[in-house]
Amino acid sequence: MKVTFHGDDLPSSREFDVTGGDKDSWHIPEEVPVAFVYNRRNYAVMMATPDDLADFAVGFSLTEKIVREPWDIISLDVYQTEQGADLRFKITNEALEILDVIQRRRNLVGSASCGVCGLENADVLFRKLDPVSDRPIDIDENTLASALHALRDHQALGNLTRTVHAAAWADLSGRIKIVREDVGRHNALDKLLGAMAMTKANVDKGFVVMSSRCSYEIIEKAATCGIKALISVSAPTAFALRKAKEANMALFANSDGGPVRLI
């Protein structure tokens, strides 16, 4: 895949002067519209933090099932302006056929916290997920705790702004290998999954760590890319729990006493 950037890089955060408190300034994360355009066809506009845009492009395309593999994207042109970013794809004919029949069309601005916008009907939410394994895998509690603790040191934007979400890939010893951040938790996960796909990370050799609550969409996106285990800092929703069970995905959540296995 050929990636070309046009225009100046957009900042992921800005410094603002504040009054009161013990600080003179505060770093605020950016949130801009990012348009996804495939073969000149508008598909979606997502509000996102404008960094790691190539990873976001690949991950979103995979989890939306527009492409099956990164190489289904022939080229990607990233146009950046003060108003936001346009991701202009050239995809294969096979991928374009998928785009034409895909049931989830997003001809609107998607909120960073909303995954239902643009669905043609609610039945899509209840389609059964394909299993990612024969049965949920086992991961040692100490390994999970180690990854959760290490995540804090890898959240550069989060530590600066105290606002954004993070999605990380940890190996089976609990070492953090890849981290991506965004104002939207599912955007952060898309960025992570895109980075993993581009680096050919082995999904059998680790697990995803989410700094936020685990929603159904987090499970669905992870399962689409074959993720076999996931731990979130906050507890999942009941719907997310059911979707994880459906996919045979090992699901964990943090608690006061440490990581707890839910599935």
Catalytic residues: 114
Whether residue 87 contacts residue 53, with contact meaning beta carbons closer than 8 Å, is answered with: yes
Query: Running DSSP on this structure, what letter comes out for residue 233?
Result: S
Instruction: Report the 3 state secondary structure along 56-106.
Output: HHHHHHHHCCCCCCHHHEEEEEEEEECCEEEEEEEECHHHHHHHHHCCECC
How many degrees, rounded to 5, is the angle at CA 31 between CA 26 and CA 35? 165
Residue 190: count of CB within 10 angstroms of its CB:
29
The C-alpha atoms of residue 84 and residue 44 are separated, in whole angstroms, by: 13
Question: What is the rounded distance in angstroms from the CA atom of residue 70 to the CA atom of residue 61?
Answer: 8
Place of tokens 């508008």: 42
CA–CA distances in Å: residue 73 to residues 2, 65, 93, 98, 162: 8, 12, 10, 13, 34
Torsion of CA 75, 114, 112, 161, to 10 degrees: -140
